[in-house]
Amino acid sequence: MFERALICTDLFDGLHRLVHCVPHLALSGLKQVIFLHSIPVWEQPTLAAVDQAKIDAAKEKLSPALANIPDGMTVIVEISNRRPVDAVREILAHHSIDVILMGNPMRGAVQEKLFGSTSLAIAGITDIPLLIFRPQLLSVYTRDELALRCQHLWKHLLIPYDGSPDAIYLIEQIEKYAQTRAPGSFEQCLLLRVVENISRDPGVTEYRLNDARRELESVQARLEKLGLQVQSEVRLGTPVLEVLTAAEENDISAIAVATSHRSNMLEWLAVRRINEDILHQLWFPLLFFSPKG
């Protein structure tokens, strides 16, 4: 599904552990991986200092990524003295990247936001998909478990679909990336439509369920033409809870969501009512698509 990944790590988010899993990342279809860590220069009006000790320590911590590189794969370790967003911008200017892996910072209730300010800023400068992880999830895996996870980063996606412009845009993006996927990288997806039970009339509810089934059948046929194994399911209930339940019951690799427009850094969450709850309640990685500008 993706071939060139940028892995942004602060060395506390668990993503730095992927340096031990480079051969397994290759099995997910990746041909190029760049590990990026940012140590911004401490600046004052007349003073700028580079902490060389931190730079050397970061290089050493990420160096195992260069030790066991499979044939046909390129691995780069970049330590930048720029702000994370500027460091990412520089990487994107010099390398072709088609997915960015990031952690969702969780350092207390005050800082517990949807993606964190860095992810928000990066989403604002690029239309490249973001694959966002809970640091706690990556940190508790054994190395063998993490290696297996790296092989299946996007093998089985859960796609919540409600017929909105955001959902339509998401399907278009899934189709786009599925057309160039490597064998075994992206194989399955679950289309999920949740109908909220807001009517006391059983006939109205049944009509809405049937209408949702017909709409999913059409989307399922589009994705199956690409050789994907596609299941579709319509549930009655609360969208967030049903998405969480479906992810847990169906052996999902990640949940895919999207917004079809973004006018500024905060308004990119056109599906915020669902996505914010998902991130705060869910441990599954989130694959987020959005256009730039």
- List the domain boundaries for the chain: 2-149, 154-257
pLDDT for res 285: 92
Our measurement of the distance from residue 49's CA atom to the centroid of its chain's CA atoms, rounded to an integer in Å, reads: 34
pLDDT for res 268: 40
For residue 115, pLDDT beyond 60: no
For 96-109, the pLDDT digits (tens) are 999 999 987 654 43
The string of DSSP letters for 119-180 reads: HHHHHHH--S-EEEE-HHHHHHS-HHHHHHHHHTTTSEEEEE--SSHHHHHHHHHHHHHHTT
CATH 3.40.50.300 fits 154-257, yes or no: no
pLDDT band at 114 (very low <50, low <70, confident <90, very high): very low
For residue 275, pLDDT beyond 70: no
Q: What is the CATH number of domain 2-149?
A: 3.40.50.620
Mean pLDDT of 101-127: 65
Any bridge partners for residue 43, and if so which? Answer: 48
Which helix (H) or strand (E) segment holds residue 193: the answer is strand 188-195
pLDDT for res 94: 96
CATH topology match: 2-149 vs 154-257: yes
